[in-house]
Amino acid sequence: MAFSFTISSPASYIPSSSHSLSHGAQTTNKLFLSPLSHPLRSLFSKRGFLSQGSRRELPTSLICALVTVAGDLQDELELPKGEMWSVHKFGGTCMGNSERIQNVGKIIMADHSERKLIVVSAMSKVTDMMYGLIEKAQSRDDSYISALDAVLEKHRLTALDLLDGDDLASFLSCLHDDISNLKAMLRAIYIVGHATESFTDFVVGHGELWSAQMLSLVVRKNGVDCNWMDTRDVLIVNPTSSNQVDPDYSESEKRLGRWFSQHPSKTIIATGFIASTPQSIPTTLKRDGSDFSAAIMGALLRPRQVTIWTDVDGVYSADPRKVSEAVILRTLSYHEAWEMSYFGANVLHPRTIMPVVKYDIPVVIRNVFNLQAPGTMICQSSVSDNNGQMLESCVKGFATIDNVALVNVEGTGMAGVPGTASAIFDAVKAVGANVIMISQASSEHSVCFAVPEKEVKAVAEILRSRFRQALDAGRLSQVAVIQNCSILAAVGQRMASTPGVSATLFGALAKAKINVLAIAQGCSEYNITVVVRQDDCVRALKAVHSRFYLSRTTMAIGIIGPGLIGRTLLDQLRDQAAVLKEQSNIDVRVMGITGSSTMLLSHSGIDLSRWRELLKEKGEVADLDKFVQHVHGSHSIPNTVLVDCTADSNIASHYYNWLRRGIHVITPNKKANSGPLDQYLKLRALQRQSYTHYFYEATVGAGLPIISTLRGLLVTGDKILRIEGIFSGTLSYIFNKFVGTRAFSDVVVEAKEAGYTEPDPRDDLSGMDVARKVIILARECGLKLELSDITVESLVPESLRTSASAEEFLQLLPQFDQDFAKKRQEADSSGKVLRYVGVVDVVNEKGKVELVGYKKDHPFAQLSGSDNIIAFTTERYKEQPLIVRGPGAGAEVTAGGVFSDILQLANHLGAPS
């Protein structure tokens, strides 16, 4: 026989028929106490005590008996706490459909903890649907009825997939009762045209009730001792004025103990998001409330850990939608998680972490769709290795907030005047604006703060109104607004103990040509915050992320001129790319290749193993402006490099504008540095004034360190007296082979066939290539010389300089073999050999290129093949010049010199050396 008691529903609490699925059978309007289960346990399962309504309808003697036995039941079971518990939270995405709910059930059963409490959100999109019902009803929009039917159908179909038999019938009965009650409540809201906060909270909380019931039945169907908990019976919170709630841990702990004494299950499925006020009025924990529910439960149960299941592998070092190289962080401290959450990182809401910090309970972020990923652990401190050395960077991650505006209040009348800042922020508070960041100079001349862009108009208006008298009198000069801004925050607990973090951060921003509008940093140094233009935000984020080794130093490279040197460089990059990534954290991405007629563009990086085929298959008409814009402007990679592998003076004429736009330039092209002096000086002045780099080592000695050696001597205070050398690998080869009785013309043909000369050997024999190298070195030494100031002895007979083609020139060259043979004979008779040299006479501010005879014991006479040799005579190296010698011709060594410049640039940009 069943006892039936009618329970009234006071305004402070409207019970849900969904309680019929708790440990004892309950319905919305009646409590049915079956003699097959403990009647008192069923009766008290609603809130652990009787409502005022039920006290009025029960005899006093029965009430006393019930309360006495209830006390005995509480004595029977004390709530266990400690590491035997594990707490899990599954969000709406995890509970998105029947298949995912079954997957959640498997994860629960795979956890072999002695006791488990699982907090669940409503099914995906359901909370938004419930808020939509309220909005439609308040607006007197009749479609709230069909929208409610959609909610019913979503859960009905899910239940049909998951449940069967009595479980299905029981849940569907409960679901239909709830929908009927909601329909009546929404009808009342429709009539009144308004919903109170408690009504709204009651309505939107149903999604969690339904998902918790379904999951508990799924788990129980697999033979697991399981109960579901309506956390409105347990969690008590006090609403605050800031649209948040403060948990009442003491009362919640008592109620949890009561609930557990009535439902001593080892697996508990609890509703997230919802709770009650001390007056038993239904409420919610606001957005991200399910995470908060799990953390509160963690504080009450002291579990081994709290696991938050979501749809990402963990916490990223930056937003992966903006930084493709963002990495999963293995650990975060509580402080780091707070900071990253505040600044918009998709971690946890800051308040979510607060309940677990007191008891040092780790929070682990896991991916429900990738169980192999270990996730991110949020705990007291970061992981250390055996030597106590932190395993991760001092800057853990970066977060951004977009759509921000800066408000700057400034004036001489602010300095030293107490209460000015208070008056400013009282005014901001009056319009309900949220101040995200504050920055004030120590001079007190100005106060700068950031607010959401949608609130800045109201803020500016009230400030100008409140301070109208001060503005008119000149005590305040302006209330200025800068819109379209973003906030970028660098977060890391170890920043406080690591010198140079700020310098590194701002250096990375400067090198990426990012202008910082405002700065804020607390004395704790857990974060450094900067404000930048929103258009620059992604590039700024990429730049700082790369600089702190959280991603590889990444360079977007455009190769101009896939000729002999260009294609050799591309092949070298292809062969070395993996090694650079693994060993040096350098990520070189060729985003474009262009020749004179065809170009190939890529948004993610060209596959260098197939660049030749791709250029043929997917190439488009070459357009230098479009090419540069693509490499520099279409990507979030902060560092752009253009590598000019041509000998084209037109390409060289663009260097200045590229550098001004923040594009680094690397080239073996001699035309820019040996061109008109005024353009050269303008180019070098720009380079020195900016963080944009211009490298041209390969312009003089191919792969030999000629420019770098000269710079090293100059910057260390040495004085250059003379530079003399064999600068042409082609002419070195020719005169090394021009021995015995060999004809000069035969040697030139041999050099051409071996690939040492230009297609037209006259380009080498004219001496202009050597002259350009001489002028480059002269200008590096500070000499202001034009190319025309260099005296050049051409090896091209005057009558052959106008030959129509290279072939014609080579056919006629034998006519002059006797002239060259005579010069060789004169040198031989003096014990000398012929060498074609360039000379920079720094003392006399002159330069020349000529054919000279050297004694056979001279270093220049001992060359072989196509080697170059350069002698630096300086104040330090006066008696015995400093000599650099090595191969000076050929595509391999020239491309290698360009490659070396690329790596030097990477080191300047932050790659480990």
**What are the residue numbers of the active site?**
773
Sequence-distant (≥ 6) Cβ neighbours of residue 910 within 8 angstroms: 504, 508, 546, 547, 549, 553
- Cα–Cα distances in Å, from 318 out to 84, 315, 486? 35, 8, 15
- Judge residue 410's burial from the number of C-beta atoms within 10 Å of its C-beta, 0-12 exposed, 13-18 middle, 19 or more buried: middle
Cα–Cα distance measured from residue 218 to residue 806, given in angstroms and rounded to the nearest whole number: 86
Work out the number of other CB atoms within 10 angstroms of the CB of residue 739.
Answer: 12
329: which 2 tokens? Answer: 């962080």
Q: Helix, strand, coil shares of the chain as percentages rounded to 5?
A: 45, 20, 35
Q: For the chain, first and last CA: distance in Å? A: 84
Q: Which residues pair with 268 in a beta bridge?
A: 117, 227
Q: Check: CB of residue 640 under 8 Å from CB of residue 663.
A: yes
Q: Check: CB of residue 277 under 8 Å from CB of residue 283.
A: yes
Q: Of the candidates 436, 443, 440, 475, which has an alpha carbon nearest to the alpha carbon of residue 459?
A: 436
Q: Which residues pair with 528 in a beta bridge?
A: 490, 521
Residue with tokens 């100005």: 446
Q: Hey, what's the torsion of the CAs at 677, 679, 683, 686, to 10 degrees?
A: 110
Cα–Cα distance measured from residue 275 to residue 295, given in angstroms and rounded to the nearest whole number: 13
SS3 (DSSP) at 713? helix
Q: Check: CB of residue 470 under 8 Å from CB of residue 413.
A: yes
295: which 2 tokens? Answer: 């953390």
Q: Which residues pair with 399 in a beta bridge?
A: 489
DSSP 655-699: HHHHHHTT-EEE----HHHHS-HHHHHHHHHHHHHSS--EE-THH
Angle at Cα 685 formed by Cα 683 and Cα 690, nearest 5°? 100
Cα–Cα distance measured from residue 717 to residue 374, given in angstroms and rounded to the nearest whole number: 55
Sequence-distant (≥ 6) Cβ neighbours of residue 842 within 8 angstroms: 720, 721, 722, 723, 778, 781, 783
In 492-577, at which residue ranges do the beta strands (DSSP E only) sit?
Answer: 516-521, 527-533, 553-560
SS3 (DSSP) at 853? strand
Q: Of the candidates 47, 53, 12, which has an alpha carbon nearest to the alpha carbon of residue 29?
A: 53
Cα–Cα distance measured from residue 534 to residue 488, given in angstroms and rounded to the nearest whole number: 10
Angle at Cα 23 formed by Cα 170 and Cα 99, nearest 5°? 55
Q: Of the candidates 879, 878, 854, 859, which has an alpha carbon nearest to the alpha carbon of residue 869?
A: 859
Label each residue of 105-140 as H, E or C. Answer: HHHHHHCCCCEEEEEECCCCCHHHHHHHHHHHHHCC
Cα–Cα distance measured from residue 227 to residue 489, given in angstroms and rounded to the nearest whole number: 43
SS3 (DSSP) at 308? strand
Cα–Cα distance measured from residue 590 to residue 610, given in angstroms and rounded to the nearest whole number: 12
- Cα–Cα distances in Å, from 825 out to 116, 809, 905? 99, 24, 48
